[in-house]
Amino acid sequence: MQKKIAYLFPGQGSQAVGMLDSWTGDHDVRSTISDASHVLDRDLWTLMHSGPASELNRTDNTQPVLVAASVALLRAWQARGGPSPALAAGHSVGEYTALVASGALSMHDALRVVCARGNAMSTAVPPGTGGMAAVIGLDDETVKRLCASCAEHDVLAPANFNAPGQVVVAGHVAALERLAQSAREAGAKIVLTLPVSGPFHSTLMHPATKALGGALDTAQIHEPAFAVVQNSDLQQAHAAGIRDALVAQLVQPVRWTDTIRLFEQAGVTHVVEMGPGEVLTNLSARIAPGIRCLPTATPSLMEAAIEAVSS
């Protein structure tokens, strides 16, 4: 069977203190993180290596760190002769890294934009006003109905369709509390409040769209060299529409389940997660068991992934 490869780039939740420690001696990784640190005037390597976790997990830090780390691993992959993909996608902020990989954005522009994005998202709603929760064990349609019935006068809606039986919802705190009770009564196995600073990918993020749009206006956007599937509408990214799609992504759900099913329909045989951790590897394996899912978070994992897609 001829192999067809897709790259995946993770979003918030994949960061961890020590995330690139196994790459300390790798020139491509260290030089990329050094370059990113210079662009942002922050010591990203120390933040990744030493934390503290409270600083690493701040949205305005997490987003540029994940872009820098994922680009660093991409460059290590390329230096080792890893093949280019037919398609790519990124989860939330990971979409920016997918666009960097495709040549649509430079790493420098992506870093500047996601810094503005992280700051805008962190301040879009007053602290304690909104949040997110993961609902485990209910199908998408049930979660949608529960959001509609529990919202009342508040905002409450699905934010991430991550995998069958795993939906993240976002909205006002009071609505999330009502949902937690109703979801358990409906048979949810777990309803877990997430440690995030706001109700991301919901209409409550509208105040952040102006700042993000302004930041994107300063970026040079090119036609992608390969297909990048957009989170918000599942369309292939094109230079003329990338800005609007990235702004729309702030207030619309990440359709990850549909993204991986689209890859499956396109004949993808292998997906390679370019980033720290294995979050997307595990989600994608649940969505499409017939696709081989390969992480690259350590040198040994990357070597195994290259062998799997090259042999």
**Position of tokens 């305005």?**
60
- CA-to-CA distance for 58 and 118, rounded, in angstroms? 9
- CA-to-CA distance for 147 and 114, rounded, in angstroms? 29
| Residue 172 designated active-site | no
Which one of 122, 172, 197, 201 is the catalytic residue?
201
| Residue 70 designated active-site | no
For residue 189, give the amino acid letter.
K
Q: What are phi and psi of 242, to 5 degrees?
A: -65, -45
- CA-to-CA distance for 50 and 23, rounded, in angstroms? 14
Q: In sequence order, what are the residues at sequence separation of 6 or more whose Cβ sits closer than 8 angstroms to the Cβ of residue 69? A: 15, 19, 20, 33, 48, 275, 276
Structure tokens at 135: 């609902």
- CA-to-CA distance for 125 and 30, rounded, in angstroms? 36
Which one of 14, 92, 122, 197 is the catalytic residue?
92
Residues in the chain: 311
Catalytic residue list: 92, 201
